[in-house]
Amino acid sequence: MDQEFSSRVLENAVTELSRLPGIGRKTALRLALHLLRREEKDVTALGEALISLRKDICYCRQCHNISEDELCAICASPARDHRTLCVVENVKDVMSIENTGQYNGVYHVLGGLISPMDGIGPDSLEIASLVKRVAAGDIDEVILALSSTMEGDTTNFYIYRRLGDYDIRLTQLARGMSVGNEIEYTDEVTLGRSLLNRVPFGDSFKQ
Amino acid sequence: MDQEFSSRVLENAVTELSRLPGIGRKTALRLALHLLRREEKDVTALGEALISLRKDICYCRQCHNISEDELCAICASPARDHRTLCVVENVKDVMSIENTGQYNGVYHVLGGLISPMDGIGPDSLEIASLVKRVAAGDIDEVILALSSTMEGDTTNFYIYRRLGDYDIRLTQLARGMSVGNEIEYTDEVTLGRSLLNRVPFGDSFKQ
């Protein structure tokens, strides 16, 4: 026999599971044996949820966030401020910002950051479509909400250069001490930024 | 909205994935976002493999190993020695022993070990069916291949008591130094057993 397990069905399930990131054959076998002990309807629910995930989710044609329709729930909502645009790296960052409950504008998902080392240039990302949205003239403010890394800064600067000619407010996330952090344990660069970008006392209580 | 994500389909997939052992909501989300980037046919293959796993695999009515038919491939094989029976804790142990390539008999899967602390008594395990197989008189040797733990020893002793009246050879796995281990790093109990159970020099070259 050319297979490791006596059962072809088990072999198949283990092979498919071990294609997931961070799951090797040992973990895949453990998961498969666990599933064998579960109710049939539970396992069917899992399998169908995964198939539906890939089949029923597409990307919003406007902001490139994941969506079940051509336009995502955020882009389609009349309750959101469509003149404020938040630029993020990926779908997870949309979730993180939504979870703060502090943002009511719309998004633009780049699908990555410029990283010449990894062969990711501006053309691999949704930057042209961002420029197009801004050029359409319906945007007042673009908020750059990218990671504070070299790739994030490079992408910020590239977008800044591309959007420089348009009459919009271009802002970026504040850098500073984490809430709940002690000064003693804050690194110097962050502490320096916190000082430079200091705000009037009481501003954060206002809203 | 009562859900964490904007998409109900994503929410559903994450919830189902996070029911797997060792996978929390964060890992489940990472896996789901990974699947979204994969080809649709790959994700469908994974989903269908899991559904088929639970639906098409049953347990061998004779040895209780996993099987796609009423009788597993090992029990059904005329090439195996059906007079030698190896008693193991679970399906994984059958795989481990099969992978050694050193065993040509058949198996009996108990489905666990006696563990009063966890409420597992002899009646929760496939011990009655083991006694029945032996009582049928077609078995020459029963090999106890259980873990070298308190639960394993308890189960070994219980089976020894139950099978004591039958005319069979009852053996257990040899305890001793691991192959490749140094004497210096072998614990005293194991080293003591290795001494007690010493074998004529050259025996291991024979086969």
The domain segmentation of chain B, as residue ranges, is 8-56, 79-205
Say what the pLDDT of residue B204 is: 58
Please answer yes or no on whether B47 and A51 come within 8 Å at the CB atom: yes
Chain A residues touching residue B19 (CB < 8 angstroms): 42, 46
Q: Does B98 touch chain A (CB under 8 A)?
A: yes
Q: How far apart are CA B160 and CA B142, in angstroms?
A: 10
* CATH architecture assignment, domain B8-56: Orthogonal Bundle (1.10)
DSSP string across B108-177:
EE-SS--BGGGTB-GGGTTHHHHHHHHHTT--SEEEE---SSHHHHHHHHHHHHHHTTSSSEEEEPPP-P
Please tell me which residue of chain A has the smallest CA distance to B48: A47
Q: What is the pLDDT of residues A154-207, one digit of tens each?
A: 999 999 999 988 999 999 888 887 877 788 888 888 888 878 877 777 665 655
A79-205 shares the fold of A8-56: no
| Band of residue A143 on the pLDDT scale cut at 50, 70, 90 | very high
Residue B7 structure tokens = 């998409």
Q: Which of A33, A55, A67 sits opposite B40 (nearest CB)?
A: A55
Please answer yes or no on whether B47 and A43 come within 8 Å at the CB atom: no
ipTM value: 0.75
How buried is residue B66: exposed, middle or buried, by Cβ count under 10 Å (0-12/13-18/19+)? buried
Q: What is the mean pLDDT of chain A?
A: 88
Q: How far apart are CA A186 and CA A182, in angstroms?
A: 7
Please answer yes or no on whether A52 and B13 come within 8 Å at the CB atom: yes
Say what the pLDDT of residue A204 is: 58
DSSP letter at A115?
B
State the smallest CA–CA distance between residue A161 and chain B in angstroms.
Answer: 30
Please tell me which residue of chain B has the smallest CA distance to A35: B54
Please answer yes or no on whether A22 and B21 come within 8 Å at the CB atom: no
Chain A residues touching residue B64 (CB < 8 angstroms): none
Chain A residues touching residue B21 (CB < 8 angstroms): 30-31, 34
Please tell me which residue of chain A has the smallest CA distance to B69: A7
Please tell me which residue of chain A has the smallest CA distance to B97: A5
Q: What is the pLDDT of residues B79-123, one digit of tens each?
A: 999 999 999 999 989 988 888 888 999 999 999 999 989 899 999
Please answer yes or no on whether A66 and B36 come within 8 Å at the CB atom: yes
CATH number for the A79-205 domain, one of 3.10.105.10, 1.20.120.1200, 3.40.1360.10, 3.40.50.970?
3.40.1360.10
